């Protein structure tokens, strides 16, 4: 691990090495650090117009009239479009990624503050914005439904009266596990602990907001859309279905993306408006959100109210976990989750523990808030699941007066139990939890920390140590079980080796900052021995890449990474045939070592992959049945998800005078199987840990009783900076995935999933002297202060 910590400081260090997996500086960074990234807002086209969206000031209101005449009269305005106009074209509503519908522009009612009501296309961004002020909309206010707990009361106004026969705000019910057997283990348990646990609404808040440039060419009937999307192919198919444009005449390009974090998975009304604007004006049209628009109207995350219950024996054997969840889905169900999984992968709430029974019942409701639900490095709701189980396990430790590490160790699934089927039907592929937990303990100096804490408690000082252990399910997914709106969750990959031995690999996934241009080149390099510098990664353009479902749920490495390795092996198999002809030996007599075939027993008789590439394209005969060229393609359908895990320990100090929490230390040990680029993994982990501290201590999208969003700017929605976080201390273990061709598991969301419970567990641990067993995020000074005044839960 010492070598693993070495920081490579110069881009030149990449020259000629490494050949495959390993610490390597990012190929994309010379572009980014020189300000040469090309984002959607950098796209400038001749004659391009600018689009701005008028948004509802109210959370719930009937639209009685929209007068656009003044806006249309503005000298620089080319087009004003209302919901009524879209309705005439059958475009006022679009499907969401959860089989609901969402208004592109409101026609009948507005259903959340910030909802799209009309748009203006003008010669510049300023005129477009000015003209919004000239649109006169009359609203008849309706009672807003803000509190998820009363959304289902018979007196609540019906938000979704657009849906036929809808008489309440019920969105969906979902359950998993077995109620009866769970009740039975609860009945026989020595100890039952329950706690109400809220995971508040938060926002991914990527640095780059969402936007698009639509360019419809009426002559060849082709639409080109540059957009901030994490899933270009899936978006293209949906545009083809919604707008009725032929799919081969749509090109979706995701250029450089300034952070996605799930915020760029859904299709937003703004993208559709830009397309409509270009179709109607015949000009390219750019739409780019501002920060407030991003925060108040785009995909939020979490918003689960959970009752967690845990049953155990008096010596700390966990028997069962039960939970009841009330989920706030906002005004339209816009979550991105595989069709069969309306609650995402929340079903893994049994965590890393071998238990006898589990049951979850969930009710999702509509409220007058922005749609979304699955975003912010969530692993499809595993953030909520992990938070629930890791918080409730800590509540049990509190109740039993047991050490939280010891309680976890006692209940871990054992290595010999893998593949392990959970009580909710998930098959964990591999895991070896105890060594990971022990390494975290060791790195943290856990026993010394406990001793220090005991000393400090005597002096009235508030120090807390929080432990969390997680198992994620990432890499959706086997197409028999998983699809988004009918599109199976597989990914294509193409690899072409040029005559001079340089290569291009084309992916269906798309980086938003995760470093795919580097790591996918490394995956191919490892398999085929061409240096990563010589491998160009092409992604984010539907005209240039094979079909696949895109980047989210940390699926790129588990799915596309597998595809890249296998396509490289296919090319290598073909190269072997050519090598056997070149060396005039049978295939069986060839040995392969990184980039070179040589005759068994005679290393001097060898050909390099570069020699073979030239021969594959060159003059002269190729072996019988071998086509010219050196390339292959594949569509990879994963056999199972991959299940990374990790052990996190957080140390906090709380100022007893101000109730301010300081995160003093944070130790994170992650296991994502085979590690492709340890430096990139560390970057992913550092980012996720920062997210987690943000959610635990400061982030929340909140609303007043009228449904006004109170978090519409970064003054009100606090996100962490380098000042609020400690120097991260990371470590790793390696438990390869048995079904992934290179044994790799996803890691992009691990730290966001695992860190919030570690921080909250630390804060609650610090507050133990006050008789506190639980406090809800975000643990701002005022909330901690409230907690210190006591919400006693006797041990
Ligand atoms: N990696 C590796 N070895 C492994 C696993 C991963 O070297 N065993 C590398 C990968 O090759 C890749 C990176 O780590 O370069 C992340 O890989 P993976 O876990 O497959 O996740 P994805 O690439 O699919 O990224 C998605 C994930 C998600 S869902 C969110 S949300 C999130 C996250 O990534 N959004 C991010 N991390 C982000 N990081 C940045 N900078 N920006 C975002 O928007
Ligand atoms: Cu759930 S946020 Mo990521 O999966 O893009």
What are the pLDDT digits (tens) for 701-735?
A: 999 999 999 999 999 999 999 999 999 999 999 99
Nearest alpha carbon, ligand 1 atom 12: 514
Quick check: CB of 551 below 6 Å from ligand 1?
Answer: yes
Q: Is the CB of 680 under 6 A from ligand 1?
A: yes
Determine the angle formed by the axes of helices 404-411 and 433-444, rounding to 10 degrees: 160
In this prediction, residue 463 carries a pLDDT of 98
554 Cβ below 6 A of ligand 1 = yes
CA angle 649, 763, 783 (to 5 degrees): 150
pLDDT given at position 18: 58
Q: Which atom of ligand 1 is nearest to the CA of 747?
A: 19
Q: Can you tell me the distance from the alpha carbon of 508 to that of 322, in angstroms, rounded to the nearest whole number? A: 39
Q: What does the angle CA 28 – CA 30 – CA 31 come to, to the nearest 5 degrees?
A: 70
Among the bound ligands, name the one nearest to the CA of residue 562: 1
- At 791, the pLDDT band (50, 70, 90 cuts) reads low
Give residue-wise pLDDT tens across range 251-297: 999 999 999 999 999 999 999 999 999 999 999 999 999 999 999 99
**CA-based nearest residue to 92, from 78, 79, 100, 81:** 81
Helix (H, G, I), strand (E, B) or coil at 437: helix
How many Å lie between the centroid of ligand 1 and the Cα of residue 206?
15
> Is there a contact between 392 and 384 (Cβ–Cβ < 8 Å)?
no
Q: What pTM was estimated for this model as a whole?
A: 0.96
Query: Is 379 touching ligand 1 by the criterion CB < 6 Å?
Result: no
Q: pLDDT tens digits for 419-475?
A: 999 999 999 999 999 999 999 999 999 999 999 999 999 999 999 999 999 999 999
**Percent of the chain residues past pLDDT 70, beyond the cut:** 97
At residue 596, φ and ψ (nearest 5 deg) are -135, 130
Say if residue 339 is exposed, middle or buried (CB neighbours under 10 Å; 0-12, 13-18, 19+): middle
Tokens for 588?
A: 């069986």
Instruction: Say yes or no: CB of residue 512 within 6 Å of ligand 1.
Output: yes
Structure tokens at 294: 């991003």
Ligand approaching nearest to the C-alpha of 29 = 1
Closest atom of ligand 2 to 512 CA is: 5
Give the pLDDT confidence of 36-47 residue by residue, as tens digits.
999 999 999 999
SS3 499: coil
Q: What is the mean predicted confidence (pLDDT) over 210-219?
A: 97
Regarding the beta carbon of 530 and ligand 1, being less than 6 Å apart is answered no
> Tens digits of per-residue pLDDT, 463-476?
999 999 999 999 99
Distance 467 CA to ligand 1 centre (A): 24
Model pLDDT, residue 536: 98
Contact in structure between 51 and 277 (CB atoms under 8 Å): yes
Distance 757 CA to ligand 1 centre (A): 21
Ligand 2 closest atom vs CA 204: 2
Closest ligand 1 atom to residue 520 Cα is 11
Asked if residue 139 lies in contact with residue 707, where contact means CB atoms within 8 angstroms, the answer is no
The answer on pLDDT for 669 being more than 80 is yes
CB 771 within 8 A of CB 709: no
Locate the ligand 1 atom nearest the alpha carbon of residue 261 and give its number.
31
- Angle among Cα 619, 620, 623 to the nearest 5 degrees reads 130
Q: Measuring from each residue's beta carbon to the nearest atom of ligand 2, which residues come in under 6 Å? A: 230, 260-262, 265, 374-378, 380, 552-553, 749
Interface confidence: ipTM more than 0.95: yes
Q: Ligand 1: which of 202, 554, 638, 745 to mutate, most ligand atoms within 8 Å of CB?
A: 554
Task: Tell me, using a 6 A CB cutoff, whether residue 556 lines ligand 1.
Answer: yes
Ligand number, closest to the Cα atom of 564: 1
Q: Could you read off the pLDDT of 3-51 as tens digits, one per residue? A: 444 433 333 344 445 579 999 999 999 999 999 999 999 999 999 999 9
Question: What average pLDDT score do residues 737-746 get?
Answer: 98
Which is nearest to 733 in space by CA: 644, 609, 632?
A: 644
Which among 255, 196, 157, 119 is positioned nearest to 540, based on CA atoms?
255
Question: DSSP string covering 35-46, please?
Answer: T---BGGG---T
- Percent helix, strand, coil in the chain, to 5, is 30, 25, 40
Residues 770, 774, 779, 784, Cα dihedral to 10°: -20
User: 134 vs 68, 87, 137, CA distance in Å?
Assistant: 7, 22, 10
pLDDT of 141-185, one tens digit each?
999 999 999 999 999 999 999 999 999 999 999 999 999 999 999
pLDDT band at residue 507, thresholds of 50, 70 and 90?
very high
Which ligand 2 atom sits closest to the C-alpha of 380?
A: 1
Q: How many other C-beta atoms are found inside a 10 Å radius of the C-beta of residue 206?
A: 22
Q: Which ligand is located closest to the Cα atom of residue 472?
A: 1
Q: Sorting pLDDT into bands at 50, 70 and 90, what band is 223?
A: very high
What kind and span of H or E run contains 709?
Answer: none
For residue 376, report the distance from its CA to the centre of ligand 2, in Å: 6
What are the backbone dihedrals phi and psi of residue 775, each rounded to the nearest 5 degrees, phi first? -150, 145
Atom of ligand 1 nearest to the CA of 687: 39
Confidence bin at 620 (pLDDT 50/70/90) = confident
- What φ, ψ does residue 122 adopt, rounded to 5°? -135, 175
- Nearest residue to 495 via CA among 636, 637, 632, 635: 632
What tens digit of pLDDT does each residue of 295-346 get? 999 999 999 999 999 999 999 999 999 999 999 999 999 999 999 999 999 9
pLDDT at 594 over 90: no
Atom 34 of ligand 1, residue of closest alpha carbon: 748
Q: Is the pLDDT of residue 1 over 50?
A: no
In angstroms, the CA 32 to CA 208 distance is 14
Write out pLDDT tens, residues 71-125: 999 999 999 999 999 999 999 999 999 999 999 999 999 999 999 999 999 999 9
Confidence of residue 204 (pLDDT cuts 50, 70, 90): very high
Gap between the Cα atoms of 436 and 434, Å rounded:
5
What are the tens digits of pLDDT across the range 344-397?
999 999 999 999 999 999 999 999 999 988 899 999 999 999 999 999 999 999
Q: Is the dihedral of CA 480, 481, 483, 489 positive or negative?
A: negative
Residue 683: predicted pLDDT:
97
Q: How remote is the CA of residue 783 from the centroid of ligand 1, in Å?
A: 33
CA distances (Å), origin 573, targets 222, 568, 631, 742:
39, 9, 11, 17
Atom of ligand 1 nearest to the CA of 509: 24
Q: How does the average pLDDT of the chain come out, rounded?
A: 95
- Three-state SS string over 240-279 comes to HHHHCCCHHHEEEECCECCCCCCCCCCCCHHHHHHHHHHH
Ligand 2 pocket: which of 204, 231, 265 to mutate (most atoms <8 Å of CB)?
Answer: 265
């Amino acid at each position: 691990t010492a070598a693993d910590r070495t920081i490579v400081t110069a881009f030149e260090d990449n020259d000629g090495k490494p050949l495959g997996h390993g610490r390597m500086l990012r190929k994309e960074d010379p572009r980014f650090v020189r300000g040469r990234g090309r984002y959607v807002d950098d796209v400038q086209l001749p004659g391009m117009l600018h689009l701005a969206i008028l948004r509802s000031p109210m959370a719930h209101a009937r639209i009685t009239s929209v007068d656009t005449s003044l806006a249309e009269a503005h000298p620089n305005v080319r087009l004003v479009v209302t919901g009524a106009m879209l309705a005439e074209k059958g475009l006022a509503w679009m499907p969401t990624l959860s089989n609901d519908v969402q208004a592109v522009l409101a026609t009948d009612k507005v259903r959340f503050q910030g909802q799209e009501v009309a748009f203006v296309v003008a010669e510049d961004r300023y005129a477009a914005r000015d003209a919004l002020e000239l649109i006169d909309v009359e609203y008849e206010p309706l009672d807003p439904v803000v509190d998820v707990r009363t959304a289902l009361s018979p007196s609540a106004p019906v938000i979704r009266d657009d849906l036929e026969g809808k008489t309440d705000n019920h969105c969906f019910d979902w359950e998993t596990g077995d109620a009866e057997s769970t009740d039975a283990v609860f009945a026989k348990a020595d100890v039952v602990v329950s706690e109400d646990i809220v995971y508040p609404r938060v926002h991914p808040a990527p640095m780059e907001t969402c936007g698009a440039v639509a360019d419809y060419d009426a002559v060849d009937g082709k639409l080109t859309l540059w957009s901030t999307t994490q899933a270009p192919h899936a978006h293209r198919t949906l545009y083809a279905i919604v707008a009725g444009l032929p799919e081969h005449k749509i090109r979706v390009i995701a250029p450089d993306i300034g952070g996605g974090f799930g915020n760029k998975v859904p299709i937003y009304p703004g993208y559709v408006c830009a397309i409509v604007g270009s179709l109607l004006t015949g000009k390219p049209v750019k739409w780019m959100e501002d920060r407030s628009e991003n925060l108040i109207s785009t995909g939020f995350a979490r918003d689960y109210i959970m009752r967690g219950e845990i049953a155990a024996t008096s010596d700390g054997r966990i028997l069962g976990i039960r939970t009841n969840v009330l989920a706030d889905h906002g005004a339209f169900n816009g979550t991105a989750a595989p069709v069969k999984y309306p609650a995402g992968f929340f079903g893994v709430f049994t965590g890393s523990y071998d238990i006898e029974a589990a049951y979850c019942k969930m009710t999702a409701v509509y409220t007058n808030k922005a749609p979304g639900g699955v975003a912010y490095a969530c692993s499809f709701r595993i953030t909520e699941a992990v938070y629930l189980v890791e918080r409730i396990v800590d509540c049990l430790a509190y109740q039993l007066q047991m050490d939280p590490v010891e309680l976890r160790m006692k209940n871990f699934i054992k290595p010999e139990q893998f593949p392990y089927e959970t009580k909710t039907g998930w098959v964990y592929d591999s895991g070896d939890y105890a060594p990971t937990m022990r390494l975290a303990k060791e790195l943290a100096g856990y026993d010394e920390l406990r001793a220090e804490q005991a000393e400090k408690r005597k002096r009235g000082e508030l120090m807390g140590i929080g432990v969390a252990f997680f198992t994620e399910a990432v890499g959706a997914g086997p197409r028999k079980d998983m699809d988004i709106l009918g599109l199976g969750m597989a990914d294509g990959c193409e690899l072409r080796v040029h005559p001079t031995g340089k290569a291009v690999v084309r992916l269906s996934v798309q980086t938003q900052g995760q470093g795919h241009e580097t790591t996918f080149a490394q995956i191919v390099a490892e398999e085929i021995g061409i240096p990563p510098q010589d491998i160009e990664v092409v992604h984010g353009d539907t005209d240039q890449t094979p079909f696949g479902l895109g980047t989210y749920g940390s699926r790129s490495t588990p799915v596309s990474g597998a595809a890249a390795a296998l396509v490289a092996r296919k090319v290598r198999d073909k190269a072997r045939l050519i090598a056997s002809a070149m060396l005039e030996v049978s295939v069986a007599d060839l040995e392969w070592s990184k980039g070179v075939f040589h005759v068994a027993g005679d290393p001097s008789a060898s050909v390099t992959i570069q020699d073979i590439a030239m021969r594959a394209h060159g003059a002269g005969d190729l072996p019988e049945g071998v086509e010219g060229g050196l390339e292959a393609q594949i569509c990879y359908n994963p056999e199972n998800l991959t299940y990374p895990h990790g052990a996190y320990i957080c140390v906090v100090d709380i100022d007893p005078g101000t109730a301010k929490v300081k995160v003093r230390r944070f130790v994170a040990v992650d296991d994502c199987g085979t590690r492709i680029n340890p430096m990139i993994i560390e970057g992913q982990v550092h980012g996720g840990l920062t997210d987690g501290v943000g959610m635990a201590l400061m982030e929340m999208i909140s609303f007043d009783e009228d449904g006004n969003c109170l978090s519409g700017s970064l003054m009100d929605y606090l996100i962490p900076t380098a000042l609020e976080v400690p120097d991260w201390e990371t470590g790793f273990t390696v438990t390869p995935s048995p079904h992934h061709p290179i044994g790799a598991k996803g890691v992009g969301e691990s730290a966001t999933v695992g860190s919030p419970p570690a921080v909250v567990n630390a804060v609650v641990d610090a507050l133990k002297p006050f008789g506190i067993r639980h406090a809800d995020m975000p643990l701002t000074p005022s909330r901690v202060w409230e907690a210190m005044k006591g919400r006693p839960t006797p041990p």
